[in-house]
Structure 1
């Protein structure tokens, strides 16, 4: 009964089609990001952490600059059109990655790719409560997050197999194909995906800026959303260490192969998937802030001993870290739907997406620096920094309920 509750949102035809499109594109996307890590190691060797941190910093820079405007557009216009255009654009851009021969080309393609990703993700997040309604959106958000993480688990293993037979660069074409399929699925949805206030009319630029500011104002004026955003800052510091420095630790320090790297990142995804399913089954509003704190503690705690362990313990630690990240991020997404009227949710999701990724603009370069200059203990240093911020946030911003 509890498991069927989690999948109840799929009875909604519109969400089922959106979910199928998300699943299709994420399958290829998981392959692409593992391929990007391997490509960085191919181009830069032991300096791959610097390349990855640079590429990921450009990625979140695009999110920070553009996603607030994406939220405003999602409240004004047909979201189906936005989702289709962003899929097709990313399909074209990702097709250039197999031909990359220099680091600067990686940077340029990653930034261009995530310009459109900045418009896709907040629009998709805001569309879930729109099509599912108030009763089913917590389960729909949890299911969407669980699928994202599950495909993150499957993707590295599939990528390793494909790279062994057809070459590492060819896996990028798979991602391009999935974007095309996802665009077709969304385009065949009947009708429009539009909130009531979203009508086609010309608006002055001042109105646009006012709506962008409104999303941020609503985000920071609510004590629960403000606390959630601060916890995401702590998680970004710890999470960036994992994304940037794991490949160097596995293939450099431990002298293992890309297959073992896939296993470790798969463990991260398994933990995240497990936590997303658990969150969907709980669905208790009163416990979301506690779950968020517990998730942050799990991520920071998992990172503390990681610089001293071998492959097997690292698998367990990254499982714990993945579970913690999901508890924080899914709680934050669900709180927006709890605290925000539906006609404003697009711009608030856009603002939250921008601000939460602004934290990564700081976290990725920090992780790259620790990976280059603290090569023996990158995870320990990052976890201690995150721990200090965790204590500050908990003492200063925890809502008094």
Structure 2
């Protein structure tokens, strides 16, 4: 897989992605801790609302921002977005109230809503061979997992000697390093064949997306991913501190367990996808994640929380299942559009998938505070399992040949 890094353009882009994600990982941990300091046991609700605002920026602004910068040089767009994110992150150590968290999260994520779809649409132009592109996707997915694994460890070490507010400085440095690496990359030019009205550019990707059966199935799987993932992202800090009496170190360990599962899944998927269809792999991963979350929630309701090691193994398995859904996504998008339409299609996936998170984040935070963590796990697992069944109906496997899409 690492042979993909011999491509100098992808190597720089991957490095930029990795350092920015490490900074973002520190940001996620620090936000969870500052939310707990400000709101105490209501931290899940505060963090859920903050992440909902993040999703509103993604869903509401993503397609508009992508359309607005469609004719600008990609390098300029990526660097400008990184600089805006760095400036917003630098302000975060000075927040003292909940509303300040919400405002800066919105500004930071509006810039990310410009950066990420532009970044994702470049990668298919770098690799003509689907095998190489699959490995590039796996390595890109692995970057998220490295962030999930290393950021908690790095945060834990830093928290031994500094306060969590200092973690935001690491976030700023990550975005600045990303901008520097993008500046030195030789990026392919965007393919433009015709001018469209602005509103057509905004809706073009979504129209392609919703007209494609396998992508309609992908949308249902996005709901499954967000339902399971919201429990881990929003409620882990409360579960660890209330159910297990843990502090910052145990919180970091739980996030690292989920990241480790996701990393293992991303490492083995290229070989698995050489043998099995995307559909089978993604539906299996979704079924495993949703099923385990349901069983865990029912177990806690009936018996109580499992021992700490079992909890870590559960988070590890949930991370692996969700990664099996997310890693092949780019392959489906690449097959569903030509080069000229891919930025719009990636923007549509970005917006629609985050619309699912927009529903799941507040549900996890609010339900966790109102009805308890175990009941929340059961309800969101039910949503995830229903989404898997819907995906099976929408994304029909060809009757006479293996479904390679």
Question: SS at 1:245's partner residue?
Answer: helix
Where in structure 2 are the equivalents of 1:76-91 lying within 5 Å? 76-91=71-86
Alpha-carbon separation, structure 2, partners of 1:389 and 1:11: 39
Alpha-carbon separation, structure 2, partners of 1:368 and 1:41: 13
Deviations 1:258-304 (A, max 9, x none): 11111111010011111111122334386101111011112112312
Deviations 1:172-199 (A, max 9, x none): 0011011111111111224x53223279
Question: SS at 1:280's partner residue?
Answer: helix
Where in structure 2 are the equivalents of 1:184-333 lying within 5 Å? 184-190=180-186, 192-197=187-192, 207-284=197-274, 287-304=277-294, 305-306=296-297, 307=300, 308-333=305-330
CA contact (8 A) 1:122 1:349 kept: yes
CA contact (8 A) 1:75 1:345 kept: no
Where in structure 2 are the equivalents of 1:36-51 lying within 5 Å? 36-51=31-46
Distance 1:148 1:74, change over 3 A: farther
Alpha-carbon separation, structure 1, partners of 2:57 and 2:315: 27
Runs of 4+ in 1 over 4 A off after TM superposition: none
Consecutive unaligned residues in structure 1, runs of 5 or more: 1-5
Corresponding position of 1:174? 170
CA contact (8 A) 1:9 1:132 kept: no
Alpha-carbon separation, structure 1, partners of 2:267 and 2:385: 27
Distance 1:198 1:239, change over 3 A: same
Return the offset for 1:73.
5.2
Aligned counterpart for 1:368 among listed residues 361, 365, 374: 365
Where in structure 2 are the equivalents of 1:139-178 lying within 5 Å? 139-178=135-174
Alpha-carbon separation, structure 1, partners of 2:149 and 2:271: 21
CA contact (8 A) 2:216 2:395 kept: no
- Structure 1 stretch 6-15 or stretch 305-314: which is displaced more? 305-314
Alpha-carbon separation, structure 2, partners of 1:373 and 1:390: 27
Alpha-carbon separation, structure 1, partners of 2:100 and 2:145: 28
Matched length: 389
Question: SS at 1:165's partner residue?
Answer: coil
Corresponding position of 1:383? 381
Name the TM-score, length of structure 1 as normaliser. 0.92
Name the TM-score, length of structure 2 as normaliser. 0.92
CA-based RMSD of the aligned residues comes to 1.8
CA contact (8 A) 2:265 2:320 kept: yes
Corresponding position of 2:112? 117
Corresponding position of 1:3? none
Consecutive unaligned residues in structure 2, runs of 5 or more: 399-405
Alpha-carbon separation, structure 2, partners of 1:52 and 1:82: 29
CA contact (8 A) 2:137 2:328 kept: no
